[in-house]
Structure 1
Amino acid sequence: MTGKLLTVEGLTAGYGAAPVLHDVDLTVHQGEIVAVLGANGAGKTTLLRTLSGLVTATAGRIALDGQDLRGVRVERMVHRGIAHVPEGRGVVTELTVDENLRLGGLWRRDRADARRALDEVYQLFPVLAQRRDGAGHQLSGGERQMLALGRALVGRPRLLLLDEPSLGLAPRITAQILALLRDLRDRTGLAVLLVEQNVRSALSVADRGVVLSLGHVVTRNTAADLRDDTALRHAYLGF
């Protein structure tokens, strides 16, 4: 783990006049996986949507490498090095696998490296290479999750915001995706802010965890310490 990449201080955000997040502080270092945990309605998805610019923060600071991100347009976030894979995977079902992946690199000026990034994604996910000319609607749920993740990786992000990657997937596919995150962290220094309904799986891959309850941070600690805190697990994490 190296320097601090993402800094969030005093973040308040929500929809309309009703805030969902209240004075949230967190950090993510380069090469670190941080799990955001909590019950349904805790504000986990709103946090990722605010960091990616889909929800406007009403107070606080969001910075990547010290550069303020508040007010940056959603479509410019990827230029800053942030990729957001939302819950539900967001594949363009009418396009082929290859066309979906190329969308992730359309903005990049270094066309040669964009092609290399595309080839690397096909190496990471051989099943996508086998289906590269097939339409998105022909893919299984697990393959769509791989495609959404691969499209984000084509943009060579420094920070990946990943929302509920295991939703609706078989445990074997979930384990494969989480193992890939660990490998990318170790090989490339990718930082990941992970929202995951399966708390055990999230803590098995994360370095640290942040627990939200009703939009407030109730604790933050190493993944190992969160796993071992029986009272906390029973109160906020459901196991």
Structure 2
Amino acid sequence: MSGALLQVDGLTAGYGAAPVLHDVNLTVQPGEIVAVLGANGAGKTTLLRTLSGLVKSAGGRVAFDGADLAGTKVEHLVRRGIAHVPEGRGVVTELTVDENLRLGGLWRRDRADAKKALDEVYELFPSLAQRRTFAGHQLSGGERQMLALGRALIGRPKLLLLDEPSLGLAPKVTAHIMTLLRDLRERTGLAVLLVEQNVRSALSIADEGVVLALGRVVTRNKASVLRDDADLRHAYLGF
């Protein structure tokens, strides 16, 4: 689709000689939330790790904001506007909340705007503002997820790659995280590629969904269509 922020064509990738992803195609438009769904082992995390430069692709093309990303280093992807929040939060537990957040803006040259972004994150996550001097290991699971999100947002990304944000969280906390993602999209135009095992939550905020099975795309459609397709849900999504 023309005008896509992220365009993935025929992506093949994996570890060693064994491909995990096979000829994957997808797009993410500016300001769009796309949910990547599928069972364990479907290739969802490998997809995000490949897009963020942590896994080398074996074939296909990835373009971001009109530019081919082949050979782009991880740190340069961040500067171009791609932020990756991996499964397991990725918080530095020995550092304080404030130190973790400031890590997200160390590379930025506009120090005034980096400070403004930090203030905005504290406004977005009041519980982090109240715990800014707490070490990462003193936070709850939900607070660590908010911290990981906040650190990614300090860089003002155009695209957020978010892997299993609800993992290990209570349903109420999960609902809060999903609401925050939807609000961020509406307020800032942030695009999100969301990998999530909690299918109902993901589809409740997504515009479109991509279903993976054994590293291949089995369907792409509007989130509302996927929610209403009982056969597809039973076959690939477990509900």
TM-score if structure 2 supplies the norm length?
0.98
Pairing 1:85-100 to 2, within 5 Å after superposition: 85-100=85-100
| Secondary structure of 1:4 counterpart | coil
Whole-angstrom distance in 1 between the partners of 2:89 and 2:27: 25
Report the CA distance between 1:66 and its aligned residue: 1.3
Tell me the residue number matched to 1:115. 115
Tell me the residue number matched to 1:155. 155
**Structure 1 counterpart of 2:67, one-letter code:** Q
TM-score if structure 1 supplies the norm length?
0.98
Structure 1 residue 236 corresponds to structure 2 residue 236: yes
**Structure 1 counterpart of 2:238, one-letter code:** G
Unmatched 5+ stretches in structure 1: none
Whole-angstrom distance in 1 between the partners of 2:178 and 2:70: 30
Tell me the residue number matched to 1:136. 136
Whole-angstrom distance in 1 between the partners of 2:127 and 2:235: 40
Tell me the residue number matched to 1:101. 101
Q: Deviations over 1:76-103 (max 9, x none)?
A: 2110100000000010011000000000
Whole-angstrom distance in 1 between the partners of 2:184 and 2:134: 26
Tell me the residue number matched to 1:218. 218
Aligned residues: 238
Tell me the residue number matched to 1:48. 48
Structure 1 residue 195 corresponds to structure 2 residue 195: yes
Whole-angstrom distance in 2 between the partners of 1:88 and 1:134: 19
Structure 1 residue 178 corresponds to structure 2 residue 178: yes
% same residue: 82
Tell me the residue number matched to 1:205. 205
Report the CA distance between 1:9 and its aligned residue: 0.2
Whole-angstrom distance in 1 between the partners of 2:188 and 2:136: 28
Question: Stretches of 4+ moved more than 4 A in 1?
Answer: none
| Secondary structure of 1:54 counterpart | coil
Q: Deviations over 1:181-219 (max 9, x none)?
A: 101111111000000110000000000000000000000
Report the CA distance between 1:74 and its aligned residue: 1.2
Whole-angstrom distance in 2 between the partners of 1:55 and 1:10: 16
CA RMSD of aligned residues (A): 0.8
Report the CA distance between 1:3 and its aligned residue: 3.6
Report the CA distance between 1:70 and its aligned residue: 1.8
